[in-house]
Amino acid sequence: MGLFLKWKLISITFYPYGGKTLFETYENTNLNLEILVLLAGPIMQILTFLVLNHFFEYPYIRNYHLTILIFNMLPILSLDGGRLLNLFLNKVFNYLNSFYITFFISIITIIFLIYFCLFYYYNLNLFLMSIFLIFKIIKSFKDLKFLYHKFLLERYLYDFDFKKTKVCKNIYKLSKDRNHYINFQNEKEVLKKYFSKVNN
């Protein structure tokens, strides 16, 4: 789907819970397009499961694939479920609040997942994947400052064709898919002053 939209492919990485395709895109990419590309992965997983379910007699293969599909849709940052949750939240909340809500839900989900592994259904693979995801969540939090700076810089350098406008108090309340007025000033004017201070 990303290639169909002519996005530049950077890498394809395989993890224990599935693959991750990374494209070179703007932080200000249209939300609906991001959701469409992200949904393409789970949709292909569902189609693959249906094919396996129809043609293969061995339930182990089908069950393994179904487990990966369900796990990947958990609301945890770095999984498709968490990324989708973040994108849908961006339709309602600003960029930073959307991330913080997703981060909080990710932490709660991981805690329940580890608790489930330790006390109800001990599975070493699931436990190790949960620990691995904790490090991915922490990395996402550390990357937030860089990503938000990129988000602001793009809005300053490029002209995005957003259809809606929003009034906000400062540059830390900006939303995706919106133009902004900050204290009665156009956001580009405010961002120009902000990056002038940063460069000085």
Q: Are 17 and 79 in contact (CB under 8 A)?
A: yes
Phi-psi region of 109 (alpha: psi -120 to 50; beta: other; left: phi over 0): alpha
Domain edges within the chain: 8-199
Percent of the chain residues past pLDDT 70, beyond the cut: 93
- For the stretch 107-123, pLDDT in tens is 999 999 888 888 877 77
- For the stretch 156-172, pLDDT in tens is 999 888 889 999 999 99
Backbone angles phi, psi at 66, to 5 degrees: -65, -40
Cα separation, 95 vs 155, whole angstroms: 13
Structure pTM? 0.86
- For the stretch 76-94, pLDDT in tens is 998 989 999 999 999 999 9
> Which of the four pLDDT bands, split at 50, 70 and 90, describes residue 154?
very high
DSSP notation for the chain:
-TTTTTPEEEEEEEETTEEEEEEE--TT--HHHHHHHHHHHHHHHHHHHHHHHHH---HHHHHHHHHHHHHHTSS-TTSHHHHHHHHHHHTTS-HHHHHHHHHHHHHHHHHHHHHHHHHT---HHHHHHHHHHHHHHHHHHHHHHHHHHHHHHHHHHS----SEEEEESSGGG--TTEEEEETTEEHHHHHHHHHHHHH-
- For the stretch 32-47, pLDDT in tens is 999 998 888 888 878 8
**Crossing angle between the packed helical segments 59-72 and 31-55, to the nearest 10 degrees:** 170
